[in-house]
């Protein structure tokens, strides 16, 4: 059981916009910023979004993040086949004194 809650799966067709939610509590998302990681099949996770809504250099602006209260979301617009991957949200938890992850969302491009 993950501390942050994500839907296990999401899907969309090429060109569509999809969103992935991440729900937490006051000790994690409510107090700290949220990060998103993309894990392509068979590879290590890669930073996608940091500090709620910041994109590292090289990440397309099709990817965007937002946070409100104790929830966050990742939006992917103009969906492409190469976006098919697992997506994880993460944040520091002040009560547990550790980094907590969501269970991951498997994105399928139909």
Partner 1 sequence: QVQLVQSGAEVKKPGASVKVSCKASGYTFTSYDINWVRQATGQGLEWMGWMNPNSGNTGYAQKFQGRVTITRNTSISTAYMELSSLRSEDTAVYYCARARRLGRGYWFDPWGQGTLVTVSS
Binding site for partner 1 (CB under 8 A): 2, 31-33, 35, 37, 44-47, 50-52, 56, 88, 90, 92, 96-104
**Distance in Å, CB of 14 to partner 1, minimum:** 27
Q: Tally Cβ neighbours within 10 Å of residue 91.
A: 26
**Distance in Å, CB of 50 to partner 1, minimum:** 4
- In the bound state with partner 1, the residue whose beta carbon lies nearer, of 74 and 90, is 90
- In the bound state with partner 1, the residue whose beta carbon lies nearer, of 13 and 41, is 41
- In the bound state with partner 1, the residue whose beta carbon lies nearer, of 13 and 57, is 57
- In the bound state with partner 1, the residue whose beta carbon lies nearer, of 78 and 102, is 102
Please state, in angstroms and rounded to a whole number, the distance separating the CA atoms of residues 89 and 29: 10
Query: Phi, psi (5° rounding) for residue 90?
Result: -155, 155
**Distance in Å, CB of 39 to partner 1, minimum:** 8
Q: 73, 51, 48: which is closest to 61 by C-alpha?
A: 48
**Distance in Å, CB of 79 to partner 1, minimum:** 23
Fill in the DSSP letter of residue 81.
Answer: G
Instruction: Detail the DSSP E strand segments found in 24-95.
Output: 35-39, 46-49, 63-68, 71-76, 85-93
């Amino acid at each position: 059981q993950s501390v942050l809650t994500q839907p296990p799966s999401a899907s969309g067709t090429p060109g569509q916009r999809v969103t992935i939610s991440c729900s937490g509590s006051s000790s994690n998302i409510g107090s700290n910023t949220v990060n998103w990681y993309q894990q392509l099949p068979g590879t290590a996770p890669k930073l996608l979004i940091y500090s709620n809504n910041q994109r590292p250099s090289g990440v397309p602006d099709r990817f965007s993040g937002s946070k409100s209260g104790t929830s966050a979301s990742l939006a992917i617009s103009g969906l492409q086949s190469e976006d098919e991957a697992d997506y994880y949200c993460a944040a520091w938890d002040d009560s547990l004194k550790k980094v907590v992850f969501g269970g991951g969302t498997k994105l399928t491009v139909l």
